[in-house]
Amino acid sequence: MTDTIQGRCAPGFERVRETFAANFSEGGEVGAAFSVFRNNECIVDFWGGFRDSAKSQPWTQDTLANVWSTTKGPTAMCCARLVDQGKLSYTDKVAAHWPEFAAHGKGQVTVAQLLSHQAGLSGLRTPTKIGGFYDHEKMAAELAAQEPLWAPGAYSGYHAITYGVLAGELVRRVTGKTLGTYFRGEIAEPFGIDFFIGLPESEEGRIAEMIESDGPVQSFDEIADTEIKKLTFTNPAMSPLYPNERAWRAAEIPAAGGRGSAYAIAKLYGVLAAGGEAGGKQLLSLDGIKAMSAPQIENEDAVLGFPLRWGAGMALNAEWGEYGPNMDAFGHSGWGGSFGSADLESGLGISYVMNKMGAALAGDPRALALTKAVYDCL
């Protein structure tokens, strides 16, 4: 399998290739890619394996994988850009932009609280099927009208899918554009980022087929031992194979439906790690980056059940070093193992994507090994 690995790295980063190869020979990888940017230059870019379960279609540099919650990073960047543009503030009440959101005592919820999973809307109270999330306006109206599952601001509870509806509607109320459209026009096209929130049919020929983990994975029913967890994880229950359906790929699902390459995601985070500028264009100001990644809450998350630190839509580095040794690093990871991260101290933007889902809820061993290899080479 290691002879299918392609790409390059800067001198001194050869260990990263060895680690990437080991994920195939020892870690059960089917298809994957890993990229690192520093000072807006790509210093590591490897890809290999196959983008389908039949192992008939080689993974290429521009293969597009569904990255699940890694999508939340680009979504948070859209909100941060609006803050930078003076069109939004993290201290704003959400209802100031979205009046209907004030129902059932949610009028005091701030934008920062919404983006850091404190709004109490991690799941829907009414029975919901996955197709419901393909209708953004309907989902947004339901969440706005819903009584929160807990007192907003009391603690965080990971908004696994609803985060994208909430952030997406906030962007739509401020700009008049859907989040996928805003991301495309404001970030993807100007900065050459090959990432989509809502995949055009023209890109279908590059997609990776998602493959279920063959390791011991807890079912969502097992994890859902509280009402909050049950409504978050099982209404509806997610299937790792939903992204193999065209309806999922076509829909704008800003919490879990983004598709891109490791190169594109690392390039995007690399812009942040370089201070927010690339090619004479500014994605975010340095102050904007720091505001987006400033801690909003640190606690045992009521949905995920382990300690987390949330910024304004960004996950802050955890004690297991998911984003390297610098605790100021930030980014977002996705179900199954993908991630994107930025470390301003080292100037690194890093991303890993794959199609074979990992079994770990957090801290995928393939991703951790690759990140460690990068920092060992510095």
Residues annotated as catalytic (active site), given as ranges: 69
> d(Cα 355, Cα 207) in Å, to the nearest integer?
10
At 305, the amino acid letter reads G
Q: Can you read off the two tokens belonging to residue 92?
A: 């704003």
> d(Cα 112, Cα 103) in Å, to the nearest integer?
18
> d(Cα 23, Cα 330) in Å, to the nearest integer?
24
Stretch (H or E) spanning 353: strand 348-354
Q: 357 and 211 in contact (C-beta within 8 Å)?
A: yes
SS3 209: coil
Residues in Cβ contact with 85 at an 8 Å cutoff, skipping those fewer than 6 apart: none
DSSP per-residue codes, 77-129: HHHHHHHHTTS--TTSBHHHH-GGGGGGGTTT-BHHHHHTT-SS-SS-SS---
Bridge partners of residue 195, in order along the sequence: 260
Q: Can you read off the two tokens belonging to residue 32?
A: 């994957």
> d(Cα 197, Cα 77) in Å, to the nearest integer?
13
Query: In this structure, what DSSP letter does residue 3 have?
Result: G
> d(Cα 210, Cα 238) in Å, to the nearest integer?
13
> d(Cα 74, Cα 265) in Å, to the nearest integer?
9
SS3 33: strand
CB count within 10 Å of CB 306 equals 12
- Angle, CA 332 vertex, CA 330 and CA 49 arms, to 5°: 120
Side-chain half-sphere exposure of 321, counting CA atoms within 13 A: 12
In angstroms, the Cα distances linking 128 to 139, 172, 235 are 10, 23, 6
